[in-house]
Structure 1
């Protein structure tokens, strides 16, 4: 009997649990351990009122706020082999429902026994240098307050990318006398009651937080460079141009106008960070692009190091399902990967495709409509069933409703309409 492949999984959020579920399904092939710095599963879906650092002195991982609801239908949000329960009232549940789903997923597949909780991955490095085929993983246990290093054949990085805020430079921001925070630290709209609040950025978090604040703030100024949102917005939410510089009492905008503000929330996204990866791992981040990755998953230089969840503007859990299956298949059958030169060329073509579509370079991992062919390609390579066409169908319905009816689309329920197409169990 061949020796089993030992795999280290970093993180027990949705991506890490997906990895654990598929690894546990092949005990004849894999042994594995999941390391999670928190004391439970769920990753970013674990809501906490803490900001800054947690009780162990670690940076708070979650970016959930009190009233957050998903912006993706739960009918297509779940893993293909473990769908959400039928929706009650709305197809867009709050964060606590998603956390319960992930906890039920871990319970159903008996995954917690594979997780070392309150354990921080401190370092990942090739065990014997750049040409090594194994990995030395050093972890710190909060329970025993000690470090240990173990050797693995492969490492799967599932640490998420919605926890380390991206802060753009704003001239004079230090002079602004109001509150300054990133959406990562936003928790409750009541904290801004009666205030005029500037939001910088009108992507998903900017739009959702604007609606959340509108119920309590005097005025919400949604500042961004994009085309005006098509949807009707609450009367006290105004769209303005992006910020040029700060003043003690407000901001000067790029169109030359000036606004007074009591607070600013940076809804400017997050950075990819892998502080535990040594330089010898050969992976680097430049301008929100992680390189060198084949299919946004496999480290081209050292293919036994993989990443789950790098792409954005996706239906995440089903995408994780396809990515994990693809990576594990590459460990079992390395022949599904082309040569190193071909993988680099594929990465180049993939990046060029996005440039040709008008994406800026920082959107190297943006998917949107590209996700469906991508998921199919991974599923075919892994030898698993492709996602049902209902995923794309409902995603397109979701996108249309979001763009045109932002303030009310989350009140809809699609369970009855699509019940026959979604495999509820």
Structure 2
């Protein structure tokens, strides 16, 4: 039996909850479907030492400031999970956990959403599935012959899991720097390989400033002014305290990217070689959009063209929280609220016609 809802929000992490908050404020009937069996979105699957870039008050969803904790400047992932669970409960958001959306189809004047728990029919859909479930692994020569362990950021938890191991961390972004610092400070035999020399943001820059910079860039582009480069113009790595500590101790000396893996390690263009037991690929993610494939909307770079959050080829579909292409800083806690508000308003107008 097909279940009915005016709006279906696919994904119950920070973007899905922000969408639910604004839909509720507008009096729109909706249901949130979340593949995870518990609240917290991707934050419940991160590594133990992960911390936000900003203080709690500047890492909040709309309507509810994230409370701080004594002695904690930058909240850890567990703090965020608790906050999201409380947010969901506080606003009585209708989240159905443990329901995975598999495909979205056009069905006359509605959209039909197939899930592993049966079909739903909705007048509009908000896709807020994020990127965590779609890790990206580069096609590096020799990756298939390396006999050690290979894992992506999503599977990393703590340095103790690598005691006595020789580890190569690949990636010059925030995840690569934080995981490299985590391992180095724990005394793990570490090699850190990056495509280009690490570019650290100034130590006093955190998520508050990054959000303002991303918003200013989006505004400039919308007004036809020159592209400032946004956050990317400032650097690639936010210098959170553990990264600063490892860097100050001389433990974060990055090597250029190796040319290939061998059965027992990594080899560089100059012929040098490092023996390794483990490679951790901190090489980013792609948007998790497989459930939208039946709609035939995919554009370049795997993105679906959008006007704001609205899919250009399907006005009943909004995409939220995947990155700047679905709203400035919309993949962040503090940034997703504005895009969620705009999406909810457009959906409310659509339903009123």
Using the size of structure 1 for normalisation, the TM-score is 0.66
Judged with a 3 Å threshold, the aligned counterparts in structure 2 of structure 1 residues 162 and 325 are, in CA distance, closer, same or farther, namely: same
Q: Given the alignment, which residue of 168, 171, 179 partners 1:209?
A: 179
Deviation at 1:256, TM superposition (A): 4.2
Q: Given the alignment, which residue of 308, 328, 339 partners 2:344?
A: 328
Q: Is the 8 A contact 2:14 2:61 kept in 1?
A: no
Matched, 1:252 2:267: yes
Deviation at 1:93, TM superposition (A): 1.5
- Distance between the aligned counterparts of 2:340 and 2:75, measured in 1? 25
Q: Is the 8 A contact 2:49 2:76 kept in 1?
A: yes
- Distance between the aligned counterparts of 1:163 and 1:91, measured in 2? 28
- Distance between the aligned counterparts of 1:39 and 1:66, measured in 2? 20
Matched, 1:72 2:54: yes
Tell me which residue corresponds to 1:241.
Answer: 256
Q: Given the alignment, which residue of 103, 107, 114 partners 1:127?
A: 107
- Distance between the aligned counterparts of 1:285 and 1:74, measured in 2? 36
Which is bigger in relative contact order (C-alpha 8 A, separation at least 6)? Answer: 2
Tell me which residue corresponds to 1:344.
Answer: none
Segments of 5+ residues of structure 1 without an aligned counterpart are 47-61, 142-146, 335-425
Deviation at 1:198, TM superposition (A): 0.7
- Distance between the aligned counterparts of 1:26 and 1:42, measured in 2? 24
Q: Is the 8 A contact 2:15 2:336 kept in 1?
A: yes
Judged with a 3 Å threshold, the aligned counterparts in structure 2 of structure 1 residues 73 and 255 are, in CA distance, closer, same or farther, namely: farther
Segments of 5+ residues of structure 2 without an aligned counterpart are 201-243
- Distance between the aligned counterparts of 1:94 and 1:184, measured in 2? 16
- Distance between the aligned counterparts of 2:171 and 2:100, measured in 1? 32
Tell me which residue corresponds to 2:170.
Answer: 200
> Alignment partner of 2:175: what SS?
helix
Alignment of structure 1 residues 160-309 onto 2, 5 Å: 160-229=130-199, 232-279=247-294, 281-284=295-298, 286-287=300-301, 289-295=302-308, 297-309=309-321
> Alignment partner of 1:136: what SS?
strand
Matched, 1:158 2:121: no
> Alignment partner of 1:291: what SS?
coil
Q: Given the alignment, which residue of 35, 38, 42 partners 1:37?
A: 35
- Distance between the aligned counterparts of 2:251 and 2:163, measured in 1? 13
> Alignment partner of 1:318: what SS?
coil
> Alignment partner of 1:284: what SS?
coil
Tell me which residue corresponds to 1:115.
Answer: 95
Q: Is the 8 A contact 2:131 2:286 kept in 1?
A: yes
Moved more, 33-42 or 214-223: 214-223
- Distance between the aligned counterparts of 2:100 and 2:114, measured in 1? 9
Q: Is the 8 A contact 1:210 1:222 kept in 2?
A: yes
Deviation at 1:171, TM superposition (A): 0.8
Tell me which residue corresponds to 2:87.
Answer: 105
Q: Is the 8 A contact 1:219 1:236 kept in 2?
A: no
Q: Is the 8 A contact 1:74 1:92 kept in 2?
A: yes
Tell me which residue corresponds to 2:113.
Answer: 137
Runs of 4+ in 1 over 4 A off after TM superposition: none
> Alignment partner of 2:58: what SS?
helix
- Distance between the aligned counterparts of 2:196 and 2:126, measured in 1? 35
Moved more, 67-76 or 264-273: 67-76
